[in-house]
Amino acid sequence: MRSIQKNLDKFNEAGIRPVAISVDSPEASRELCQKAGYTFTFLSDAKADAIRRYDLLHAGAGEHGADIARPGEFLVDATGTVRWVNLTENYWIRARPEQILEAGKALR
Amino acid sequence: MNFKRFNWHVWAGFLLTLIALASYPFIYLNWPITGKIPWINLALFAIAAALLFVGVRRGFASDRNHPTRSKIGTSILTTLSVLLLAIFVFSFFIASRWLPASHGAPQIGQKAPDFSLPDTNGKTVMLSDLRSELINGKAPKGVLLIFYRGYW
């Protein structure tokens, strides 16, 4: 998230809108954004509806056995079609902004 | 304290092990290039292991100059260090890979499933809104959806 925020100008310039989605409540996300200085959109999927629709549910992996999302990034074009996907096999390893911006060059 | 009794190799090795473990998120965030394999941390662990090795040899040496150097302390610190390394290796290389396969995730060329979720102000947002709302006065070319584990 921090690397996305750091490169937000580049994403804006490329016409790519980053959106973060987790099971955190809107309040928890707002607190995180204020603390960390994130200014892009954070959405709350408390019931994991969207997370299930994208088949990213990691059942019981959260605190007290809560269902959470496994990390995953999708670049969706203006028509709503997926153009790039990153489903990491190791949650320490995430997509880097340069990778995403590179993939974004193919968007029109 | 009698400095000759103080087994600084073991202490340095132990402290370096702590640093190698605790510094990972920091190093990862600042130099993402280390993200694939945590080279810097593994290097720190290697130096720590070398120090511990020397320390153990010193601790257990029947050296007349250091007759009472603590074997117990050396053993405890070394064991703790090995445990910490094991925790690091386990959490980085093994536990972090216990992720669902997500075979049903939308693939390249497929339609991204729509959703309708509240933002941090409680306002409901749909994927179609995100795709059409202007960025700096221009129509967006794409939306990057970042699903993350959350901070609970």
- Cβ atoms of residues A63 and A50 within 8 Å: no
Residue at B5: amino acid letter: R
In the predicted structure, residue B3 carries a pLDDT above the cut 60: no
pLDDT tens per residue across span A55-67 = 999 988 888 888 9
- Which one-letter DSSP state was computed for residue B107? -
List chain B residues with CB under 8 Å of A73. 144-147
Q: Which of the residues A7, A91, A92 would you substitute to probe the B interface, choosing the one with the greatest number of B C-beta atoms within 10 Å?
A: A92
| pTM of the shown model | 0.78
Nearest CA-CA distance, residue A19 and chain B, Å: 5
Count Cβ–Cβ pairs < 8 Å, chain A vs chain B: 218
- Quick check: A19 and B146 CB within 8 A? yes
- Quick check: A85 and B32 CB within 8 A? no
Q: What is the ipTM of this complex?
A: 0.94
pLDDT tens per residue across span B73-118 = 888 899 999 999 998 888 888 888 888 888 999 999 999 999 999 9
Is the Cα torsion angle A59, A22, A78, A13 positive or negative in sign? negative
Q: What is the model's pLDDT at position B32?
A: 57
Residue A21, SS3 per DSSP: strand
